[in-house]
Chains A and B, each alone.
Chain A
Amino acid sequence: MDTSAFDADNSVSCRLSSIIPDVCKTEDCCLGIDEAGRGPVLGPMVYGICFCPISKKEELKGLKVADSKTLSEAERETLFQKLDDAKGFLGWALHILSPNTISTSMLQRTKCNLNTLSHDTAIGLVQFALDSGVQLKEVFVDTVGPAEKYEEKLSKIFPGIDVTVRPKADSLFPIVSAASICAKVARDHVVKNWKFVENLADVDTEYGSGYPNDPKTKAWLLKYLDPVFGYPQFVRFSWSTAQTLIDSKAVTVHWDDDEEDGEKAAQRLANRSMLSYFSAPGGVTNPTQTHRFFTERRLKSLDTL
């Protein structure tokens, strides 16, 4: 698999796709969605779709695609090659969400949680297939969050398409298994080829599985914690593992949307107590009020440096 488009700039998200087989544009098709790398604190999350004409479902079974989790890396690689070789009737597309995208989405002012991010990515890929002219009739999805809600959401967005959301869909429907293989292979490639934009000299790649509970991963996270900047972009800052380490080991950083106790924040901002508005006027006028030219511009005189 060629992931060079993403490797060139791994701070943003990237879409990769096969050519769209001509039969998919004329015949009714089914589509499977699955993701890889949802849990790790390191590396990207990859969403994959696979689609083929409904009439070719049996042929897909012949490729013996199975749940990617039961396969070794080498087996996945060969299976992906088989899938990619079936260009005549099978198409795929991937959306690689860089760890940086995940961090910034989840930590931005209007928080976007991982489920929303996952849903939006899946929806984007289905839309991509539709826009490419694939005649979608059936969509199979491995669930994220409660299956019924997700199914309802997808059915509403794509009326006329039969949406099936099931937990463990990747072992139930071959088209979802195929999607899961594409996603997994892409994630493996990207992680292996990861180029750190940070100047880390000879970076130690012994970070284990990348999952938060892996001791190797934890040790790596401790090793590469910068007191000021935190982590390289390879790390998902929004993961509690990363956050806890940053909170305890790195310099404290305050943002203006940090949660703070109402009372304390008010005190800090020197706000007037609500009660003061109810007392009799007079006596509260500030004798040395700075002109609004300065207060509006946050300018003040200093008495010392």
Chain B
Amino acid sequence: MASKKKRTPNVQNDSWVVIAADSAVDSQRKDNDPTFVRLRNPATDAASLYMLSGGGGNLQLYEVKAFEEDFRSWFVGQTVQRDGRLLFVTQMDPLFLMLPYLIKSGKEGKFQRLDQMVMDEEFPACSGLLSCTRSLASMHHIADEKEVGSHKFHRYSQEKTMAWLKKKVEKTVLVLKKKNISVGEGVKSSSYIRVKLESDSSKEDYLGYAHGLISEYINKDLSKDLRHHLQLPELTSPKETEPASKKRKLSDKPVEALDDYTKFNSGDFARKPPKKMTAAQKNLAKVDKSGMKTMSSFFSLKVKAEKK
């Protein structure tokens, strides 16, 4: 029964289970199939997976998130798929991905052409962002614009960006409320279903939660600035919230025992009948313990187990 199963490394998959909007996968023209691209994640600065889809001047950006838990597999038609992940392809505002490039160029303080700013040797696919429908039309949210002849030039604006991000946070708060997502501090499990509506979550809880969500899409500095802009209190680091280590109280008074143990010294104490078990203890005692290990066995030397 206790045989150890060896885990073979996950082999590369050739299929995935994906949830995506119809609009993401139904491209009108056959030559414009949705494609997965690796782009720079603005929050982590590392590669993340995105999808570009929709041809004919209607290119949209989607982000790819995976629901991943241990011990999951799929039955797909007549096959078994070992990878039990569920991929979500959801629409995303391309401005988030362009922001880091604009901020970088913005440090020079000059108006520049977008295609000169949004360039990345590591992720050449990022130029595709410029073709996204929403990109050019919404650049004014994060940058100052200047038109010279037929050319448009842009320069990053921190002020505009903050205003834009604030709107994003406020919109997120509305959705959080509508979807009844618990944002309170004490709640740990999202699967816990509350009977009563959470009325005790303050406006600040919602703002803080939404700020945290938006921060998944912007870099750390920007997240900090946004927190300030929203007038949210600074995050306390766990270091500060940790209670000070207890120190023994020193006093001049003679130490006195708080409990009098001498009363247990009398002879009849030992012969006291065992206390009656509570209903819960009785139930516990009745549990089928066959095949269970004793608690002490978990603390024995590791060597034996490795030799098996």
Which residues in A have some Cβ–Cβ distance to B below 8 Å? 110-113, 116, 228, 240, 243, 247, 252, 254-256, 258-263, 268-269, 281-282, 285, 288, 290-294, 296-305
What CA separation (Å) do A140 and B86 show in the bound complex? Answer: 57
Name the one of A258, A291, A293 contacting B5, with C-beta atoms under 8 angstroms: A258
Q: Does B291 contact A (CB under 8 A)?
A: yes
B48 touches A298 (CB 8 A): no
Contact A303-B288, Cβ < 8 Å, known A247-B3, A296-B190: no
Number of interface residues of B (CB under 8 A): 49
* A-binding segment of B21-29, B112-120, B234-242, B260-268: B234-242
Q: In the complex, which residue of chain B has the Cβ closest to the Cβ of A292?
A: B212
Name the one of A282, A297, A303 contacting B239, with C-beta atoms under 8 angstroms: A282
Q: Does B140 contact A (CB under 8 A)?
A: no
B239 touches A294 (CB 8 A): no
Q: 28 interchain pairs (CB within 8 A)?
A: A110-B288, A111-B290, A112-B288, A113-B288, A240-B1, A247-B3, A252-B5, A252-B8, A254-B7, A254-B70, A256-B70, A258-B5, A260-B4, A269-B70, A281-B239, A285-B237, A290-B216, A293-B181, A296-B189, A299-B65, A299-B66, A300-B66, A301-B41, A301-B44, A301-B49, A302-B48, A302-B66, A303-B38
Min Cβ gap B298→A in Å is 6
A302 touches B88 (CB 8 A): no
Contacts of B213 in A (CB 8 A): 291, 293
Q: Does B281 contact A (CB under 8 A)?
A: no
What CA separation (Å) do A259 and B3 show in the bound complex? Answer: 8
Which residues in B have some Cβ–Cβ distance to A below 8 Å? 1-8, 13, 16, 36, 38, 41, 43-44, 46-49, 63-71, 80, 87-88, 181, 189-190, 209, 212-213, 215-216, 237-239, 242, 288, 290-291, 298, 302, 305
B190 touches A256 (CB 8 A): no
Contacts of B305 in A (CB 8 A): 261
Most chain B CB atoms below 10 A, which of A240, A282, A299, A305: A305
Name the one of A113, A243, A296, A300 contacting B290, with C-beta atoms under 8 angstroms: A113
Q: In the complex, which residue of chain B has the Cβ closest to the Cβ of A248?
A: B3
Name the one of B69, B209, B212, B215 contacting A298, with C-beta atoms under 8 angstroms: B69
What CA separation (Å) do A281 and B68 show in the bound complex? Answer: 30
What CA separation (Å) do A302 and B51 show in the bound complex? Answer: 12
Q: In the complex, which residue of chain A has the Cβ closest to the Cβ of B176?
A: A293
B67 touches A304 (CB 8 A): no
A303 touches B216 (CB 8 A): no
Q: In the complex, which residue of chain A has the Cβ closest to the Cβ of B215?
A: A291
A298 touches B68 (CB 8 A): yes
Min Cβ gap B87→A in Å is 8
Min Cβ gap A301→B in Å is 5
What CA separation (Å) do A79 and B103 show in the bound complex? Answer: 93
What CA separation (Å) do A303 and B45 show in the bound complex? Answer: 12
Contacts of A261 in B (CB 8 A): 4, 305
Min Cβ gap A177→B in Å is 31
What CA separation (Å) do A298 and B46 show in the bound complex? Answer: 20
Contact A304-B239, Cβ < 8 Å, known A263-B302, A291-B212: no
Contacts of A116 in B (CB 8 A): 288
A305 touches B13 (CB 8 A): yes
Name the one of A255, A293, A303 contacting B46, with C-beta atoms under 8 angstroms: A303
Min Cβ gap B15→A in Å is 10
B44 touches A288 (CB 8 A): yes
B215 touches A305 (CB 8 A): no
Sample of 15 more A-B contacts, CB < 8 Å, known A281-B242, A288-B44, A293-B212: A112-B288, A254-B5, A256-B70, A256-B71, A268-B70, A285-B237, A285-B238, A291-B213, A296-B189, A301-B66, A302-B48, A303-B38, A303-B47, A303-B48, A305-B13
